[in-house]
A and B are shown apart, each in its own frame.
Chain A
Amino acid sequence: MNELIHGGLYGGMIVGVLMTTTAMALWFERKFAARMQSRLGPTMVGPSGLLQPFADVVKLLQKEDIVPFQADRVLFNLAPPLGAIAAISVAAVIPFSADIIAADLDVGVLYLLAIGALGVLPVFIAGWGSNNKFALLGGMRALAQSVSYEVPLVLAALVPVILTGSMKLSAIVEFQATHHWLVVWPFFLGVPAFIIFMLAMLAEANRIPFDIPEAESELVAGITTEYTGIKFALFYMAEYVHTLVASAVGAALFLGGWDGPFAPGLGWMVAKTLALFGFVYWLRWTLLRFRSDQLMALCWRYLVPAGVVLVAASAVWVVWVG
């Protein structure tokens, strides 16, 4: 019972914080991109346009909810909440600090990989249920992409698991706090694994340069073509939450999580997450988009072999050296 209250409390807190952070992340991204493009970005709603995301949400809530003709109503309506749930659920195992973990599962890494993989389902459901060819193409691409990138993602996530000997996220961070961050030592394993992990996470979260499932210049809006109002908002939010959570997981697995001098653990974790998150957007507003077959080639030709080698090397390292 006590555990339930604890979980519920932290869960509620984390969801609330995540939502607010997502809204702020939206604002941050828009300002960030605007400065890169020699614009000012939102300036009107609130100081420096800070309230713009909330205005957007209000606007989206007011929009008419349209279900396309002959769409599969059940699937069509199911996809957006499922997407949001899948994205938020991952946050349950993120160790924000030594004390703030909603559910410190013993198989935390397994959990986040499993739930993360669930994220492709709503995307494909939306693509199928919309009765739209662009959405279908988007769903098709998303499926191929996510299933492929699941492999390097798992391989890269295995490296910290092998090196630290635990699947518990708090234990992984604890190990890094007492030894070294994995990107520091052994860096020849940690850094490539970190890069592969982040690339695969980007692909899972459909961010540029891997955002081909909703490549709006090719597929209008891909899977979200037919969605309006709050359903679209849920998809949109799920994407941001996914990126945010991916950054947090990357920070926890490779960058030492809450570990850091001078500041409290939560501060370090948030700083690392936001830094990764910012980098993702930095890439997004700089790079162009891959073609889907090039994306597959990148995955199967480079990332998967590299991941296999890394896993093997980690095992060797643990057995013979560490």
Chain B
Amino acid sequence: MNTEHAWRYILVGAAISILPILIVFRLISVQTNPQEVSTFNDQSKLYEGEYHTFYPARGQIYDRWGNLLAGNKTVYQIGIELQEVRNPQTIALTLNVVLGLDYTKVLGAASMSPSKDAVFAVVADFVPPDKVEQLNQLAQQIVDTYKGSQDKNAPSLSGLKTVPHLMRSYPEKDVASNILGFVSRDNKGYFGVEEKYNELLAGKPKTVWMPLDPNRVSELPNVPDGASLVLTLDRVIQAEMEKILDKAIQSSGSKSGTIVVMDPKTGEILALATTPRIDLNDFSSYFDTFNSNTPFDRGVSQAYEPGSVYKVLTMATALDTGAVKPQTTFLDKGVFEIGGTLIYNWNGGAWGPQDMTGCLEHSLNVCLAWIATQTGAKNFYPYMQNFGIGHLSGVDLAGEVPGRLKIPGDADWYDADLGTNAFGQGVSATPLQMAAAISAVANNGKMMAPHIVRSMINKGYQYDMDQRVIAMPIKPETARTLTEMLANSLEKESSDALVPGYRVAGKTGTAEIPTPMGYTSNMTNVSFVGWGPVDDESCCSNLGFLVYIWLEKPTTSIWGSEVASPVFSQVVQRLVVLMNIPPDDVRHQLRGQ
């Protein structure tokens, strides 16, 4: 190398080296200065990752045939990323036009300066997808129009963010609304199945740290969806019962009504129609429809004095204890005294000698009060307790009330109560409790646990719920005898409840309504309980139903036989078609083949 030119090489080498040296120097200074280390650490943490909460999809609810009753749909949260906002006016105007939001409020939110405490402003939530699509189209139009514009005031929706999430949807709208309940915006179930199984349906959200660095990408956490439920409900039967109920309420001028349809052999509730109902997709109408005294589901949440349908339980007790036999004769003189109280028949008349079927056929209070005394309070009340009167049935629906059964020893129980309780006054129960209790008579003495959930689907498996016998309050022969008596009594009185081609058993009920002053109201509650098909092989039939009807304060007639009985007939005429139950003669013929 020529030494006289060496300085040039040294100069070039030095010039080239100075930049790396400066970089190395800066690196060392940054790494060794605690303040700088802390600053850069803080900055890097901002972009290192974020906490992400994974919300499991709420479990779906199906009817017994797999039709969706409650599902989920995507809605959007609309927010503003303050750091990215370029033109707050455009955002405010757009949201005002598309979503109808208050211009001033949105402008205020969009104009906020980003700070450590404010980076994102939520301006709307639960926005439907079509509105979000409109927003996206507008945003795209603005981008296309003002692409490359240097004008700082050019319209821009930069900073406007849409965050999707799920909310509940109910395809059947108001059908079975009282059974399903609804889910509020904070994903909490209210009433019905949604409340009873809220924890199971909701699943458990999981919050995890998700690094943004693609080199440190981690596996998505396993957040299983909430469990799904298959109900015992048949949506078509439910919808039909609601239609029949609405018509019955209208034609009878009743205040409200309830129809319970269950399978007495399994305890499955096939339908539970009641009023009022709401479209669950618009649950905000709840406050307009239900005042503080209106239960969401009268079937389980409103106890009432059932009246003469209760005579089924009184007679079952008397027959089971041997206090009376079907042939036992009672001379009805039109009045019966018990505990200082005089009991009269519904028409105030004396019906003369009656066998037990006659007592049921004519619904004689005097006779039933006498039967209760023959049974004795010592037997009567334990039987009622075995029938589940006075305590919760345990049905898997939220908001069940126990009703009231006064028993000897209670401060407010008097001897006269035995007489009045015998025909369903002075005792209260919900329609479902009554249906469950009387199902023991329809099911050979076995009382199955009433339930609404048939199976549960969790983590890919379907678990069937057990069908439990909760009590055997009466003997099978008692149940069969009483069923026959009640079927005969309907036939003898040519009841409006009869269904051509099908033999059914049943009992009407007309109950006075207690007021704080006693039974002073002219209004009544009318009921009917019936089951079928009742034939020689009813014990072995796989096709069975029990129907309980309650109409509150009808105005066209105060009698159950005139208001509730025809409704039972209508209900059964639809049920036999929907449940594919052939008429008795066809069924016997098919069995014989």
Bind each other: no
Mark A residues whose CB is within 8 Å of B.
none
